[in-house]
Amino acid sequence: NMAAVITVDGPSGSGKGTICQLLARELDWHLLDSGALYRLTALAARHHGVELDDVEALEVLAAHLDVRFKPRKDGETQIILEGEEVTHAIRNERVGEDASVIAALAPVRSALLSRQRDFAGEPGLVADGRDMGTVVFPEAELKIYLDASAEERAQRRYKQLISKDPGASLDDILNDIKARDARDMNRAVAPLKPAPDAVRLDTTSMTIDEVLQSVLDEARHRG
């Protein structure tokens, strides 16, 4: 597939998700939220009573994920798993934890590979994940790696959560983020790391709009 691709990788809380949505909307390109595929596999495992160490069953689930992404007029994408709406259910912290556990399994990752590449298409694709620039789209014309300090990422998550959950604890969130980072960066297959040719942005003291403008500038540079 020769369509243009911009990859955006980085740890959780780096602002990738928001930036990719805004970027895809601005360019009117397709969007791949690859983390959603790992989250959907984790949720499917729970629904089917599959244990997180049953590699063969997880591989089958990942290869046959019955999922539909339905863009809505308000810009949000509705996610339907086996006929059930799971748009919000997959954002749950437990599901994110489970996703990061099964994401360390090579057979699960390869089962999801062609499905991710199928998102590429005219006029272009914005691909959000951990290994978009290193493994899934190594030929992408623009690769971005977003980072921010763990403390800043914990603050951002805390601000999102506190309105819904007054009991949220900044310390707990920081510990979760550090544990997730360690698992994503230290796994043997497709660990989180910048591609050698990635443009690296530290977003710790940047606003979302500043990050978006920097990425758009890079994209325009490459024409």
Distance CA 86, CA 80 (A): 6
> Which of 133, 154, 155 has its CA nearest to residue 144?
133
Q: What is the dihedral of CA 16, 167, 99, 200, to 10 degrees?
A: 20
| Minimum distance, C-beta of residue 112 to ligand C5P, in the bound complex (Å) | 8
Interface with ligand C5P includes 12 (CB under 6 A)? yes
Q: Tell the residue number behind the tokens 């506190």, with chain if given.
A: 162
> Which of 8, 11, 9, 10 has its CA nearest to residue 177?
11
Among 100, 124, 145, 158, binds ligand C5P (CB under 6 A): 100
Nearer to ligand C5P (CB atom), residue 85 or residue 217: 85
Q: Is 145 helix (H, G, I), strand (E, B) or coil?
A: strand
49 is in an annotated binding site: no
Interface with ligand C5P includes 176 (CB under 6 A)? no
18 is in an annotated binding site: yes
Mention every residue, 6+ apart, whose C-beta is less than 8 A from residue 30: 24, 119, 120, 121, 124, 125, 126
Nearer to ligand C5P (CB atom), residue 23 or residue 217: 23
Binding mask 59-88 toward ligand C5P (x if CB under 6 A, else -) reads ------------------------------
Among 41, 129, 144, 157, binds ligand C5P (CB under 6 A): 129
Interface with ligand C5P includes 14 (CB under 6 A)? no
Among 5, 6, 19, 35, binds ligand C5P (CB under 6 A): 35
Mention every residue, 6+ apart, whose C-beta is less than 8 A from residue 84: none
User: Can you say which residues are annotated as belonging to the binding site for ATP?
Assistant: 10-18
- Which residues would be at the binding site for ligand C5P (CB under 6 A)? 12, 34-35, 38-39, 96, 99-100, 103, 129-131, 180, 184
